[in-house]
């Protein structure tokens, strides 16, 4: 049942990402908690949401350029981390999250390849539409537009649960076989989170981004430490 839900969530996200609406619901920051919620662990989804959003802040569809498929990878990574957390008990930890990330992230690249296949298939739809119009079926011609939503849904619905399964299996077996890896993997997750924040800052392409990034971090750190000391 969990994998079926993952497939539905991934398929809908793939549709929302480009073909319909584009309301940020397929961005990692919204999709990871939704995926966690679908699997019964909203808090677990939130653990991976912010770093994945910042890592892929620059994954945008500019002109004809295809970005990585961040939605597909987000569902796979979140699903892998949540399912591993449920198998091990204790929910999503930094250790399960980083293993699910390392296993599931390549799906973002695979998803981009799949998007190219979808574009070729959509060319055929456009040709069919022109043919239908020549045969005086205008309504049928334009409704072929909606058929373009099917393939992205199917691809994401098939790949994301598979990625989540592999991620959860690797994380569960690794941490069962070597529980002492939990600590080092936790540090690896923090390091990844630091890089994700830097990737977000870089993706925004602002002038003097490096300086603003450093100042923002230092100011927030001082405020956070000050608040911590005050309480």
Partner 1 sequence: MTIPFRTRAHVFWRCLFLQAAWNRRGMQNLGFAYAIEPALDALYADPARREEALARHLGFFNCHPYMATAIVGGAIHHEERVAAGEEPGAAPLSYKATLQGPLAAVGDGFFWTALRPFFGAVAALGALVSGWQAVVAAVVLYNVVQLSLRAALFRAGYRQGDAVVGLIARLSLPRVADRLRAAGVALCGAAAAAVALRAGGGVVQAEVGAVLVVAAAAGAGYLALARGAPLFPAAYLVAVLGTLAAAVTGWDGRP
136 lines the binding site for partner 1 (CB under 8 A): yes
* Site membership for partner 1, residue 140 (CB under 8 A): no
95 close to 108: Cβ distance less than 8 angstroms: no
Q: Which of residues 201-220 bind partner 1 (CB under 8 A)?
A: 201-210, 212-220
Contact flag: residue 197 with partner 1 (CB under 8 A): yes
* Residue ranges in 10-29 that form contacts with partner 1 under rule CB under 8 A: 18-25, 27, 29
Q: How many CA atoms lie within 13 A of 216 on its CB side?
A: 10
Q: Is 194 in the site for partner 1 (CB under 8 A)?
A: yes
Report which DSSP code applies to 170: H
Q: Which residues are CB-contacts of 231 (< 8 A; sequence separation ≥ 6)?
A: none
User: Does 226 sit near partner 1 (CB under 8 A)?
Assistant: no
Q: Which is nearer to partner 1, 8 or 42 (CB)?
A: 42
Site string for partner 1, 38-77 (x = CB under 8 A): ----x---x--xxx-xxx-xx-xxxxx-------------
Q: Which of residues 159-178 bind partner 1 (CB under 8 A)?
A: none
Quickly list H helices, the chain.
2-14, 28-38, 42-55, 70-88, 94-104, 106-134, 138-147, 150-177, 182-203, 209-230
Name which of 158 and 181 has its Cβ closer to partner 1. 181
Residues 12, 10: Cα–Cα separation, whole Å: 6
């Amino acid at each position: 049942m969990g994998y079926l839900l993952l497939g539905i969530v991934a398929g809908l996200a793939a549709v929302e990402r480009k073909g319909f609406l584009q309301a940020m619901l397929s961005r990692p920051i919204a999709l990871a908690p939704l995926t966690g919620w679908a699997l019964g662990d909203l808090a677990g989804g939130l653990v991976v949401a912010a770093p994945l959003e910042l890592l892929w802040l620059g994954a945008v569809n500019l002109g004809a350029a295809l970005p990585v498929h961040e939605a597909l990878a987000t569902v796979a990574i979140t699903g892998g981390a949540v399912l591993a957390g449920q198998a091990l008990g204790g929910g999503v930890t930094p250790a399960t999250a980083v293993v699910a990330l390392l296993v599931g992230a390549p799906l973002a690249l695979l998803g981009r390849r799949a998007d190219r296949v979808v574009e070729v298939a959509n060319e055929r739809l456009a040709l069919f539409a022109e043919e239908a119009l020549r045969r005086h079926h205008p309504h049928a011609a334009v409704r072929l537009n909606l058929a373009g939503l099917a393939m992205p849904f199917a691809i994401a619905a098939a790949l994301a649960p598979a990625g989540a399964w592999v991620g959860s299996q690797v994380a569960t077996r690794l941490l069962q076989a070597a529980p002492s890896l939990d600590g080092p993997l936790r540090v690896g997750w923090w390091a990844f989170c630091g890089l994700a924040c830097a990737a977000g800052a870089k993706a925004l392409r602002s002038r003097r981004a490096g300086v603003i990034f450093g100042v923002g971090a230092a100011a927030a750190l001082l405020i956070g430490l000050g608040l911590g000391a005050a309480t």
